[in-house]
Chain A
């Protein structure tokens, strides 16, 4: 059973009794997507543990947390796969993975691998004024955007944060009209134009399929 989004944000997801051969160490923001992919593809060789999704806001915590998780489960699995891209770690996660002999998802962040790293890179010149949200971030918009940026207490700060952005692109992993409507409201709150783009799971599927 998948914990609530709030639980995934604060505490992540603990792995259950080891069953598979490979442990996926993922961002809590990807839990639902990975569980869905596992179920749809019958990937019983993969177990999942998630770090708190709130590390999205504190990327300096990710690398050490991944190291600690691998150390904790070293004897339980044949291999590990880190379901993070660089995600603001400035290359330190990649370096740690190389040291530990484990692989990770390619790309700069989840917005890129959901879109497909090559496709995302090709659009960079046109879209660097875009602010991205995924399904998880739309659901957790207040927890990840409004509250940590202090916009609930100081809405006047909005343009200091978002004044240079032009558009909010909602990268939809699932086709959910309610979520689309919520994403549109997020764009309104930030004073940005809105675009919805159905990406599905993009390169995440490819990366997990290869394991």
Chain B
């Protein structure tokens, strides 16, 4: 890779700048990403295009290399941190410009679990894909999920757990939704290191998502199915 010190972002044309932002995201360079976002805004790019073409495009490469064992968690975190910097600039503008909204998700780590790295990555990539995300944070009892579903009216409920001791709590939440007759009102996605597809099925989730990129694709697929079923109803 070329020496970043010699690259002046503002002198690059749009295509080169986006490519450079991919590299900068890959290298976790937050300030450079923020600068790139601001340059594209000055060049009258739509905030939604910056988000999808530069930031999400770059994070997709990061996600693929993480899945393939080329990048590891520290590098992904640095990249996510850089993307977060860019998102912070774009978020208010996205709201103003009426960017397309694919759906709404409530997401949280389950009771007894304080691990949120995966959840935060999923939340960020979902936002990048055009979902509105309500993040409940960590250590959520079933009441928190129920309340958020009632007040926020999401399409999707996402639950995360990193521990084998806490992942069974996802079933508590889903069983409660069944008891209250609201289970089928929501798409339920689950994820976390010790989970697998079999577990997702066993607890009655709609899908297990192995990483943030899969979560986004799965969420989009289920949203499309939901729209189709609404149309045909």
The chain A residues found within 8 Å of chain B, CB to CB, are 59, 86, 88-91, 108, 124-125, 128-129, 148-151, 153-154, 157, 160-161, 164-165
Contacts and interface: CB of A to CB of B under 8 A. Distances in A.
B51 interface: no
Given A90-B194, A125-B112, A150-B72, A108 B163 contact: yes
Contacts of B196: 90
Interface string B111-153: 0111111000000000000000000001100000000000000
A86 B164 contact: yes
B99 interface: no
Given A108-B165, A125-B112, A128-B114, A157 B74 contact: yes
A171 to B, nearest CB: 16
The SS class assigned to the B binding surface is loop
Nearest to B76: A150
The SS class assigned to the A binding surface is loop
B112 A128 contact: yes
Given A90-B196, A161-B117, A154 B78 contact: yes
Nearest to A112: B165
B164 A108 contact: yes
A88 B193 contact: yes
B29 to A, nearest CB: 12
A52 to B, nearest CB: 17
B74 A90 contact: no
B192 to A, nearest CB: 9
B174 interface: no
Given A90-B196, A149-B74, A164 B163 contact: no
A164 B115 contact: yes
Most buried by B among A90, A124, A148, A151: A90
B195 interface: yes
Contacts of B138: 164
Contacts of A157: 74, 77-78
Nearest to A151: B74
A129 B112 CA distance: 8
B112 A88 contact: no
Contacts of A129: 114
Contacts of A88: 164, 193-194
Nearest to A164: B114
